[in-house]
Structures are given as structure tokens and as C-alpha cells.
A and B are shown apart, each in its own frame.
Chain A
Amino acid sequence: MELISGTNSQIDEILATAHQRPAVAYDLILARSLNHLQRLTKSMMQAYPRLARWEQTDDVFQEASIRLYRSLKEVKPTSARHYFNLANLQIRRTLIDLARKHLGPMSAAANHESNFALDDAPDRNELDAPVTLAQWAEFHEAVDQLPEDLRETFSLLWYSDASHADAARLLGVSTKTIQRRYLHARLLLADLAPDLLKPSES
């Protein structure tokens, strides 16, 4: 039976495995990446419940997943950290593609169906205002503009769902450093994607 200890995270397992059996570790990272792509895509579709019910959406998503998988399989990573970085980059690009090229155009038809969509959305200045696909695309594109250390940290926490402790272990720094970098990254993103992240002055 696969062992799951209450105190160890999967990233610990990945790091431990990476030394002896890197291929296994990289497969674990890849599997996680696909799962996170699924989770983040579903979050992006929150404003488009009609879109969520279309079989076409599923097909689009599956093809995107396969492209992500193939792109990562081609990589010859040098370490688990390196592979996480690549995986997070590919997740981000896939999400941008989904938002702008694939699901975006489909969402226009979804809007027309008059569902819980942007027309009926609460004031976008409120903290829980739904996010359009275009705004999500802008968000992911903004992450690309962060300085490398901040982007790496933010990506681990956001796209790979790592805890601060996990990220600290992976990057070889203290959790304090992770916290500060994560904070710094978010503040910069607020400047880079103000439409999404800066509430208007009331």
C-alpha cells in the first residue's frame, strides 16, 4: 500500500525520491501538475457555469492537458527544483492559452445565454467579484514579469500548491524568506495587474 504519513507532504517524497530515482520524482511532479492544471482551470471557469457544462470544454481541456504532458515529457530536468519551475511555467502558459485562445471565444456564447455571467455580476470592485477569462490571462501573464526569485516562489505556492515549508525545502531557504518573497510577489502583481488586483478607491 502506498504510504502516506500525516506529517510528510508529497514534496518531501519527491525530494527524497529525486536523489535515488529522479524519473519517479519527475513523474510525481508531472502528475501533480496535471491535477493543478485541472483545479486552476475549474477556478477560471467559475464565472461561466454554462461553459462548465459543455462537453466541448472537456475536449479542449483534455487536449491542453496532453500538450502540457508532452511538453514536460520532452524535458531533461536537472533536478526536482528545475522540473517544478518548468512545470509551473507550462501550467501558466497552458492557462493563458485556455483563457485567451480556447475557452475565451467559447465564453462569448456562454454570456449570450444569460447565465450567472458578467452582466449580472456583483460590483467588480468587491473582493469576491468574479474574474473574467481575460483577467485571468492578464494575471498569469503578469507572473511572467516578476523577478526570477519571486516568480519561482510565487509559482510554487500558486501553481503547485506548495506550502511555505514545502517551498522552503525545495528552494533551500528559510520559510521566512519564502513568506517575504511571496508577499513581495503579490504586491508587484497588484501593480502589474491592477484591473484585477487593485480595488478602486471608494
Chain B
Amino acid sequence: MKVDDQILDLLEKWEETVAKGTPVDPTSLAGNDPKLAAKLRGYVGSLQRFDSLKRANQVECELHLPTPQELGSSLLLPEGLELATLQAHLTKADVIDAEELKQTLSAQPTKNVYQFCNLLLTSKLLTRFQLRAIARGQTRGLKLGRYIVQDRIGAGGMGQVFKAWHSKMGREVALKVIHGQVKNKSKALARFYQEVQASAQLRHVNIVTAFDADEAEGVHFLVMEYVPGSDLHKIVRKTGPLSVTQAVDYFIQAARGLEYAHRVGLLHRDIKPANLLIDEEGVLKILDMGIARLTSEDDPAGLTQEGSVMGTVDFMSPEQAVSSKTVKPQADLYSLGCSFYYFLTGRPPFEGEELMVKLLAHREQTPPSLSQFRSDVPLELDAIYQKCLEKLPADRYQSATELIAELERIRPRLHDKGKVAIRQIVPEAEAEADTSPTSFLETQQHVGGAPLVAPQLQVSPAPPGRRKRTVQAGGGSPGFYGGAVAVALLLTIIGYFGFGALFKVSTPHGNLIVSIKGDAFVAHLRDQEIHVVNTKTNETVDIKLDRTELTAPLPAGPYKFAIETSSGLKTDVSQFTITSGENSQVEISWEKPAAASLPAAASSNVPPTTDVAQDWVSVFNGRDMRGWSIQGPTLWRVASGSLIGVGTSPQEAGWIMLEKKYDAYELEFEYKLEEGGNSGVFLNSRPGEPLVGSKFLEIQIIDDAAPKFRNIPDIQRTGSLHNLAAAKQRVETRMPGWHKMRIRYQPPMVQVAIDNNDVLSHSLNLPHQTGSLAFQRLANLVEFRNIRVRDLTVPPTNPSGGQLAP
């Protein structure tokens, strides 16, 4: 099927000429050929008809596209499902109250199976998991006794884990349904119930609480606390290795949970990142305490558990590989140390494709050094980790309490230096560790507390492990290099540096004892940082105020405090000296800061704070999202005092809105944007509008240096009033660390300052709808902190002018 090339050429020419606005009689193109002329006339008529069809007006009518929710819910249904069939399955499942369903349907009648399904989901009568099962007629197992199963949230060695609802108690729980094969081993099951009883006694903030064990319809299941969050295996896989401070924080939290459990005689025996859950507040909770491994005479190490591929050995202590029954608490500490390595590198300390290779490595190989791969891991911390991984239990910390004390001692000196510091870059795609989760895991995106750092981090592979040989004093035994010569060399080294030198880094430190006076700690100071500067070396040390009394080791020397007057922090001394081996004391208190002009105002055209306005009010307490409301997907969390938004795609865009509304205000905050990030501040957001925020006034925050944003116009760059007015200078958002932004919105004026530089002053031409201030989440990671607002509409009559209630 083809049109003659000659005709194509002529008509192409005709179209080009007509497109330029010059009418052409097609006959003139045919020369003296009447037949050709007739053909051309006919084809031109067709082309003109095409044009009219293309231009065809659309009728003014209501032809609605389905909502994204309707489209999404339609995917849960099998092909060809009839509405009547679904209704029959729903009745059989008996998971919805009939009266409630009737009321919902009468309020919103539906005409087809898609509308019906969407209604069931949007009115929360069913979850997606339930709907998918019911749509396929799989109704058995959706009710276990009084528990209505709502979602499948994980699978592990012993069985599947579900989120469920107790219909009488009205609370959410997690159900771990035991594998069929396990339930058939009566001895194992008996031992299992015994351990469940023991673990059900545990009540600790860092341990997931076990409530009950039960059986319904032949299914044995555990009932446990449901914790929305994600486990550290998933978190590190998704976001990369953690920062040192965050990893240590989790290390300590896990150790505290173990400390408590060990004190009452219970061991975990399967500590690994997948069993360490982080909730939405950043609290670590140990999963499966006491019930992680079912053991038997045939399998004393619990390696051949049903459902797991030869057990989980990446984090297993050498003695546990022999017998799980005789291990002591030090085995858990070993596993925790291995997990800590994983937090910081994204892989277990010993890798290998075969189970036996890994087991032997735990037994024989020297653990890889953390400091070797992470230049931001101090030697002291590496030493602590190494001690956890000593081959002999007697050489490790003898209790979690000892471990915690060591970690707390060095914690104040730890701080993150922007991106995670690595020493070597190698290609990825290492063998994946067997960190299969065994407990209650959200299958949705992580909403836990781990800060996201170094997203493109690559870590060099572990060096080939050296076989560790025991060095015997007196010579004659093979040392690291083999032979008496090597032993003599080693002893010489030890003798020269002192025995402790090879195993511990010591510095001439003294201690700063910090105590917090009055009631200020909870309300104003918890988790704040104070900065002390060594006036000799100009080095700054940040000390986190996480308790009312703390001891911070500092190198000897003269110091001063670097405190912003607007913070309210007060010290009884402004300078102090640290002497090696001695303690210096300081008292910290808090006083409501005076309503003086902010430092930024001195050099800024943003009007000073002497005009009619309230005092500054903190609108973010650094711990949770109280006072804020999320619009769109819940990809926000709070961690380390920051409000963190994770952007994924324009389809999953959203914002977080301050619930208290201000018609005219000054907003000040700090922000940190990930490479390639796209965010912003909406000045007048309103719920129900498009989630990309196209209807709002927005101050743009974007990685201007990212290649994909290289060619965007100036009215879309950082500091601009998006698509309305360009910032008058480029802001280097790519510079690592935090930036400060101040926005003054007093219609019709909009003014913006970034890092004390005025970048925008614009008068709006048209009135805009009022709304709430909000932060946008669009692409990559953005963090906000120290967020405060001044109301510009009300005279200063509020005597308290205080912060958001904790």
C-alpha cells in the first residue's frame, strides 16, 4: 500500500507553500496532466478534511477522568470481575460491619465495580490487601479469632507477619503467623510458647512488646506491638550507610534494649539490622526478643529453620554457630557489633557466597577496620566495634552496660561532616547479605527516623581477611608473620607504645561536666546543641544536650562558648579551660530571648523587627509534626531535630502545611537540600489543590547547580517567587550544610533573604488567595529545622510569646 512518490513530492511542496501562508492551486502543480491534476485536487480535499477533523471542537460536557485513587484501586481487581461477585465475596469474608457498609453506600451510591472498590478503600472499610484478597475470593484467613488481618507487612524465618485489628479492644497489633511445618513439631512449639511467655514479660522502650500467643482455625500466631516504621536493613539499603552519630545512636539504643533483656535472663540470638526497627520518632525497637530462633537437638544452632535459607549467619557469633543453646549475652553483643558495621558500610563484616565461608570467617578472620573505610569514624569508635567482635566471648564487653558506657563516653565528641567520608570508591553490586527480615515491617516507603546521608555512597570492599593467630608470650609460636622473629617484633612494639596503645587510642583529655538548671531541659533544651570553640586551635566541638547531666571529654586547652543570643541558652561562664585528667563544670539554663532585632536584619533590607508584629514563635518542636498537616503522600518524618521530606516523583509530590494560619508573617528557618533536590516554601497553600503546588505562591528552593536544572529560567531559581519574580542573585545551595532563609510575606510585598543576603523584594500585582505556609516535597531530600514565625498582623500583646507546646 503506497502513494506514488511523484504525488507525495508535489503534495509535500503544496503543504509547505500553504503553511507559509501562500495559497496554491494544486492543479498548477500538475503541469499539463489533467489526470494528475484531478488526483491532486482529490488528495488536497482529503488533506483539508483532515485539518478540519483535527481542529474539531470538543463538546462542552462532563467527561471525567477517573481519579488517581480510582485508577490505583482498579489494579487490585482481577480481569472481568463483576460487582455482584465482589459483593458476595465481601459478605463471606465478614470483615466489614454490614450496617456501616450500608450507610456508606447510601451516602455514595456506586454504579460499577471500580467505583465500589474505590469507595471501600477511600472510606477505609477495606485495606488494599483485604480488597485484593476478597476480589479473588481468598477470604479464609482474613479473620483470626478476634483479629481482622489488614495487611501483610513481612515474612521471615518462622512465618508471615501481618498488621491486624483487634475487633474488641480496638487496637492495631502485629501478628506473626507460624509456619505450618513448625507448628507440627510439638517439642519446638512447646519451647516456642515457653519463650513467648518469657518475652511477654519484657517492657522496654527499645523492645517490641509481645502481648500474646494464640491459635485460631489451626493457625498459631504471636500477637505483638505494631510499630509503624522500617528496619535498619531496609533503611541502609535504601538510603545508604548512616552517619556516624546516627549509627552510634542506634547502637546505643539497641544496647539498652539488650541490657534490659539480659538483666532478666533473656537472650535474643538473632540480632541483625532486619530485627532492629526504627519507628516514626526515631526510636529503635528490637524485634523478636527471645523467639528468633527455634532450636532442636538436630539443629542446635537454629540454622535450619523453616523458611530461612540455612539461617542468618552474617551477624552470628562464632560460638553461636556451634550451639545456640549455650551462648551468653556476649553473643548478642557480637551480633550488634556486626550490625553496627552494617550501619556504617552497608554490608556485613564478613562476606562470602557460601554459608561455611562466612561461618569460618567469623571464627578465624580479623574483623575489617571501620576507620579504614570511613575516615569519619574515629579510632576510639573503631576500637569499641572491634571489641564487640572479639572471637572469644571473654574478650568482649561482658555486658551491654559496659558497651553503653563506652559509647556514651565518646558520643559527645562525634559529629558528622557533611557527606559520609569514604576512603575508596569501587563499583557496586556486591553480594547481598542475608539480612532477611523476620518481623514487623512496613512494606511502604520508610518513614522512620534515620537521617538520609550520602545517598550515592560507595564503600570499598572488605580486604581479604587475615587469619588471626593467637600470639603466645615467650616466643616459639607463629605470630602474624609466622615465626619467633615476628613474635619478638610484636612484643617490641607493645613494649614501646605500651600495651594499651595497640588496642586503644588515648588522648590527653579532660572533662567538661555540663548540668542543666531548672525546668528548662524538657521544654527548651533537650537535643539542642551547644558549641564550644578551642580558642587556641579554633576547633569547634558540638555537645548535644540529651540529658540533664552529661560529661563531655575535651582536649586540654582554653575554650569559649559560641551561643546565639536568640537561642535563649545561658551559661554561668563564657570561657573555661580544660586541663588534662581534670573536670571543669558549667551550668546551662534557658531564658526567654528578648525580642531584639535578628542578626540578619542588620545587613538586610527586610524590615527590622520594630514594626507591628508578635514575638517570634517556634512552630516546630524538633521531635514530631505536631501543628503540621501533611498533604499528599506521607513522605515526611522528623529526625535529629529536623523535618525531613523525601521527594520521589512529580506524581508523588506533596507538602507539609502549618496548621496555624497567618495572613501576614515573617518566616525564618534553616534548610538543607540534597543534590538534585527540588523544594520550596508555599506562602498560601490550601488543601485540595494540585499536589505540585501550582496554584500557590512559592519561594523556590532548588539545586541550581544540578545538570538537569542548568537551563531553567531565573524565575525558577532558588529564592525566586516561582514564575513571578526572579531572585536578584544566584544562591549557592550546593554548598554543603545548612542555609538560612527568611521570608517576609505581607501582601502585596514578598521579601526573601538567604544566608543574610537579600535576594528578592517583589510587589504582587494581583490579590492572591490566603492560605497556610508550607514546605514542599518534590525531588530528592530536603530538611528543615529551627522554624519560627512572626505574625505581622497583630500588635505585640502576648505576654508568653512562647514556643509550640512540646
Interface contact tally, CB-CB below 8 A:
149
Are A34 and B112 in contact, CB atoms less than 8 angstroms apart? no
A100 at interface (Cβ–Cβ under 8 A)?
A: no
The stretch among A61-69, A78-86, A88-96, A165-173 that forms the contact with chain B is A61-69
The stretch among B53-61, B140-148, B194-202, B362-370 that forms the contact with chain A is B53-61
Are A127 and B722 in contact, CB atoms less than 8 angstroms apart? no
Are A3 and B59 in contact, CB atoms less than 8 angstroms apart? no
Residues of B within 8 A of A35 (CB): 65
Residues of A within 8 A of B66 (CB): 62, 65-66, 69
Are B58 and A1 in contact, CB atoms less than 8 angstroms apart? no
Are B650 and A2 in contact, CB atoms less than 8 angstroms apart? yes
How far is B54's CA from A158's CA once the two chains are assembled, in angstroms? 8
Per the 8 Å Cβ criterion, residues 415-457 of B in contact with A are none
Taking the closest CB of chain B, its distance from the CB of A45, in whole angstroms, is 5
Are B711 and A58 in contact, CB atoms less than 8 angstroms apart? no
Residues of A within 8 A of B63 (CB): 38, 41-42, 52, 57-58, 61
Are A1 and B49 in contact, CB atoms less than 8 angstroms apart? no
Partner of B680, one of A1, A49, A53, A61: A1
Per the 8 Å Cβ criterion, residues 51-83 of B in contact with A are 51-54, 56-66, 70-71, 74-75, 79
Q: Which residue of B lies closest to A150 (CB)?
A: B1
Per the 8 Å Cβ criterion, residues 1-47 of B in contact with A are 1-3, 7-8, 11-12, 15, 42-43, 45-47
Are A66 and B15 in contact, CB atoms less than 8 angstroms apart? no
How far is B53's CA from A43's CA once the two chains are assembled, in angstroms? 9
Partner of B59, one of A49, A139, A147, A184: A49
The stretch among B248-256, B540-548, B691-699 that forms the contact with chain A is B691-699
Taking the closest CB of chain B, its distance from the CB of A98, in whole angstroms, is 11
Residues of A within 8 A of B48 (CB): 127
Residues of B within 8 A of A63 (CB): 112, 114
Taking the closest CB of chain B, its distance from the CB of A108, in whole angstroms, is 18
Residues of B within 8 A of A3 (CB): 678, 709, 712, 716
Are A190 and B46 in contact, CB atoms less than 8 angstroms apart? yes
Residues of A within 8 A of B708 (CB): 16
Per the 8 Å Cβ criterion, residues 12-51 of A in contact with B are 16, 21, 24, 27, 31, 34-35, 38-39, 41-43, 45-46, 48-49
Residues of A within 8 A of B111 (CB): 59
B275 at interface (Cβ–Cβ under 8 A)?
A: no
Residues of B within 8 A of A62 (CB): 64-66, 70, 114
Residue-by-residue, is A132-168 near B (CB-CB < 8 Å gives 1, otherwise 0)?
A: 0000000100000111000000000010000000000
Residues of A within 8 A of B680 (CB): 1
Are A2 and B694 in contact, CB atoms less than 8 angstroms apart? yes
Contacts A1-B693, A45-B59, A53-B61 given: A184-B49 contact, CB under 8 Å? no
Report, as a range, how many residues of chain A touch the other chain: 35 or more
Residues of B within 8 A of A31 (CB): 651
Are B711 and A180 in contact, CB atoms less than 8 angstroms apart? no
Partner of B74, one of A24, A48, A69, A196: A69
Q: Which residue of A lies closest to B709 (CB)?
A: A3
Taking the closest CB of chain A, its distance from the CB of B702, in whole angstroms, is 9
A179 at interface (Cβ–Cβ under 8 A)?
A: yes
Residues of B within 8 A of A179 (CB): 12, 15
Q: Which residue of A lies closest to B51 (CB)?
A: A127
B149 at interface (Cβ–Cβ under 8 A)?
A: no
B474 at interface (Cβ–Cβ under 8 A)?
A: no
Are B712 and A24 in contact, CB atoms less than 8 angstroms apart? no
A197 at interface (Cβ–Cβ under 8 A)?
A: yes
How far is B48's CA from A196's CA once the two chains are assembled, in angstroms? 12
Per the 8 Å Cβ criterion, residues 687-724 of B in contact with A are 692-694, 698, 700, 708-709, 711-713, 716, 722-723
B649 at interface (Cβ–Cβ under 8 A)?
A: yes
How far is B2's CA from A145's CA once the two chains are assembled, in angstroms? 12
A109 at interface (Cβ–Cβ under 8 A)?
A: no
Taking the closest CB of chain A, its distance from the CB of B487, in whole angstroms, is 56
B776 at interface (Cβ–Cβ under 8 A)?
A: yes
Residue-by-residue, is A181-201 near B (CB-CB < 8 Å gives 1, otherwise 0)?
A: 001101111100000111100
Taking the closest CB of chain A, its distance from the CB of B50, in whole angstroms, is 5
Q: Which residue of A lies closest to B43 (CB)?
A: A187
Residues of B within 8 A of A55 (CB): 62
Q: Which residue of A lies closest to B653 (CB)?
A: A2
Taking the closest CB of chain B, its distance from the CB of A187, in whole angstroms, is 5
How far is B71's CA from A15's CA once the two chains are assembled, in angstroms? 24
How far is B71's CA from A181's CA once the two chains are assembled, in angstroms? 35
B778 at interface (Cβ–Cβ under 8 A)?
A: yes
Taking the closest CB of chain A, its distance from the CB of B771, in whole angstroms, is 15
How far is B74's CA from A1's CA once the two chains are assembled, in angstroms? 29
Are B694 and A187 in contact, CB atoms less than 8 angstroms apart? no
Partner of B3, one of A42, A61, A188: A188
How far is B59's CA from A58's CA once the two chains are assembled, in angstroms? 13
Partner of B45, one of A27, A52, A198: A198
Taking the closest CB of chain A, its distance from the CB of B785, in whole angstroms, is 22
Are B649 and A39 in contact, CB atoms less than 8 angstroms apart? no
Residues of A within 8 A of B74 (CB): 66, 69-70
How far is B31's CA from A118's CA once the two chains are assembled, in angstroms? 40
Residues of A within 8 A of B45 (CB): 127, 198-199
How far is B67's CA from A34's CA once the two chains are assembled, in angstroms? 11
How far is B52's CA from A43's CA once the two chains are assembled, in angstroms? 11
How far is B64's CA from A38's CA once the two chains are assembled, in angstroms? 8
Are A1 and B700 in contact, CB atoms less than 8 angstroms apart? yes
A106 at interface (Cβ–Cβ under 8 A)?
A: no
How far is B680's CA from A2's CA once the two chains are assembled, in angstroms? 11
Taking the closest CB of chain A, its distance from the CB of B248, in whole angstroms, is 34
Contacts A24-B649, A69-B71 given: A61-B692 contact, CB under 8 Å? no
Residues of A within 8 A of B8 (CB): 180, 183-184, 187
Partner of B722, one of A1, A21, A139, A190: A1
Residue-by-residue, is B325-348 near A (CB-CB < 8 Å gives 1, otherwise 0)?
A: 000000000000000000000000
Contacts A59-B111, A187-B8 given: A1-B57 contact, CB under 8 Å? no
Residues of A within 8 A of B649 (CB): 21, 24, 27
Q: Which residue of B lies closest to A56 (CB)?
A: B111
Residues of B within 8 A of A184 (CB): 2-3, 8
Q: Which residue of B lies closest to A48 (CB)?
A: B59
How far is B682's CA from A69's CA once the two chains are assembled, in angstroms? 32
Contacts A2-B692, A65-B65 given: A187-B7 contact, CB under 8 Å? yes
How far is B706's CA from A16's CA once the two chains are assembled, in angstroms? 14
Q: Which residue of B lies closest to A34 (CB)?
A: B65
How far is B80's CA from A66's CA once the two chains are assembled, in angstroms? 12
- Best-surrounded residue of B1, B52, B693 (most CB of chain A within 10 A): B1
Partner of B716, one of A1, A21, A39: A1
Contacts A69-B71, A147-B1 given: A38-B65 contact, CB under 8 Å? yes
Taking the closest CB of chain A, its distance from the CB of B117, in whole angstroms, is 10
A-B contact pairs, 14 of them (CB 8 A): A39-B58, A42-B58, A42-B59, A46-B56, A46-B58, A59-B111, A66-B71, A70-B74, A73-B75, A127-B48, A180-B8, A180-B12, A183-B47, A198-B49
Q: Which residues of A contact B (CB under 8 A)?
A: 1-3, 5-6, 16, 21, 24, 27, 31, 34-35, 38-39, 41-43, 45-46, 48-49, 52-53, 55, 57-59, 61-63, 65-66, 69-70, 73, 127-128, 131, 139, 145-147, 158, 179-180, 183-184, 186-190, 196-199
Q: Apart from A43-B56, A198-B46, list 12 A-B contacts with CB within 8 A.
A: A1-B693, A5-B711, A55-B62, A57-B61, A62-B114, A66-B74, A146-B1, A179-B12, A179-B15, A186-B47, A187-B7, A197-B49
